[in-house]
Amino acid sequence: MSSDIVTKKLMFYFPQCECEKPIVYHLVKDHNLIVNIYRAKVTPEEEGYLVLDVTGTEEAIQGGIEFVKTFNVTVNYSGKGVIRDEERCSHCGYCVPYCPTESLNIADPAVRKVAYDEARCIECLACVRICPYGACASAF
């Protein structure tokens, strides 16, 4: 495997809590990963989730994922915590200034269609709260 450093967005689902284990600690300490958490909800006796960026070598990331999987945690690689319903979007562009990372943007000013660059989304959920058409939703 390559030793290049890469960043991957991951989503962990915890079915009825595996939260006693300090998972993030082990990802950092044992797997040498840089972790950036976007969103997390981990409450005892309830389902939980953790959306994060992990930065490290492919090998380290793979190792980290294998480690997480030993806890009955579902790992989602698409990292889609914000779901945009293309059919409900009217492409007005109202959301664009509220999006802090320009994940939502107008690519072609002549047609003014709103584009969603998922990779840039930090899941602040500003669009979910303000979209008049309900085109943006949170996965949890």
Partner 1 sequence: MKTYEQINERIASGKAVVLTADEIMDYVDKKGLHAAAEEVDVVTTATFGPMCSSGCFLNFGHSKPRIRMSEAWIEDVLVYTGVAAVDVYLGCTQNRHGDPANMYPPGEFRYGGGHVIEDLVAGKTLQLFALSYGTDCYPLREIRTYFTINDLNQAIMVNPRNCYQNYNVAINRSDRTIYTYMGKLEPRQKNGNYCSAGQLSPLLNDPYYETIGIGTRVWLAGAQGHVYAEGTQHAGGVARTPEGMPLTGAGTLALTGDMKQMRREFVRGVSFIGYGVSLSLGIGIPIPILNEEILRRTCVRDRDILAPVVDYGSEYPQNTGKIICHVSYEQLRTGRIEVEGKQVEVGSLSSYYKALEVANLLADEIRRGDFLLAAPIAPLKRDTKMKPLLVREPPR
- Name the site residues for partner 1 (rule: CB under 8 A): 90-98, 106, 109, 111-114, 129-130, 132-134
Nearer to partner 1, 44 or 132 (CB): 132
- Using alpha carbons only, how large is the chain's radius of gyration in Å? 17
Nearer to partner 1, 22 or 97 (CB): 97
Q: Cβ of residue 128: shortest distance to partner 1, in angstroms?
A: 10
Q: Cβ of residue 127: shortest distance to partner 1, in angstroms?
A: 11
For residues 66 and 56, give the distance between their C-alpha atoms in angstroms, rounded to a whole number.
15
Angle at 36 between CA 3 and CA 27, to 5 degrees: 60
Please report where in the chains the tokens 């943007």 appear, as a residue: 105
For residues 26 and 31, give the distance between their C-alpha atoms in angstroms, rounded to a whole number.
7
Nearer to partner 1, 4 or 86 (CB): 86
Nearer to partner 1, 67 or 94 (CB): 94
Q: Cβ of residue 77: shortest distance to partner 1, in angstroms?
A: 31
Asked if 138 and 38 touch (Cβ cutoff 8 Å), the reply is no
